[in-house]
Structure 1
Amino acid sequence: MPSPLELLASNLHDVFGNRDAAARRRAIETIYTDDVVFTDPEESVTGWDAVEAKAAALLDGAPAEFEFADDGIAYTGADAGALAWTFGPSGSPVARGIDLITVRDGRIAELRTLLHE
């Protein structure tokens, strides 16, 4: 069973940072519960298809050189975790945020993204 730290890394890099749609979908089905709730400043959505649509829209709308990177240390507990990140060209991020996860049965059941203002 993956740890919250492993889930945080996979969420950032294998899902939201992955431009390969088939590999991204495999990661989604592996690391999230099928009823995952994802909340960002725009909305709250539920399920694998909704997470896939959010990741695809973000990546499809961003220049090819934009990437996600860890931004500091992760914080974890038995069933929760938090990881700060940046998004943009390497070394010149245009966005910063933090992902907060709740884990159930070894998968992310809730993902909340907060953005730096």
Structure 2
Amino acid sequence: RTNMVKQGISPPSFIWFWFPVVYLRQRDQKQDKPWRLMQVWLLCTALSIAGIYLLNRQSGTENLAQSACAVVTKILHKEGSDERCIRVTDMHEEVSGRFWQAQALLNTGVKEPVTIEVRGRDIYVVLPETGE
């Protein structure tokens, strides 16, 4: 704003500061510049939104894996086994947001295939060998 005033150009109103796209467009237009600032801002905004979406999706999958691991441990203890789940890996979504195929890594080093079903806020885990 200060540089624009020094150049004898009236800067955009402070009101437009709350709407960055409009502010940057007006600023570039008044200086007879290409829309570079607005383009950079739009690119950064799009990249930020995409990054946030990917992080949220990944953290949701990670939370599901941790919950499924706890359920696998409960199932194994219910069967009388001393094994416990360390982590659930190789998660592949079979039906959008509902069924997942994965591998449960046990403390013995064995990987057990598991099927995870999401029903609302509840999850159901099936170990194919046990049928539970």
TM-score normalised by the chain length of structure 2: 0.38
> Which one has more relative contact order, counting CA pairs under 8 Å at least 6 apart?
1
Which one has a larger percent helix, Structure 1 or Structure 2?
2
Considering fraction of residues, name the structure with more strand.
Answer: 1
Q: Who wins on radius of gyration, i.e. which is larger?
A: 2
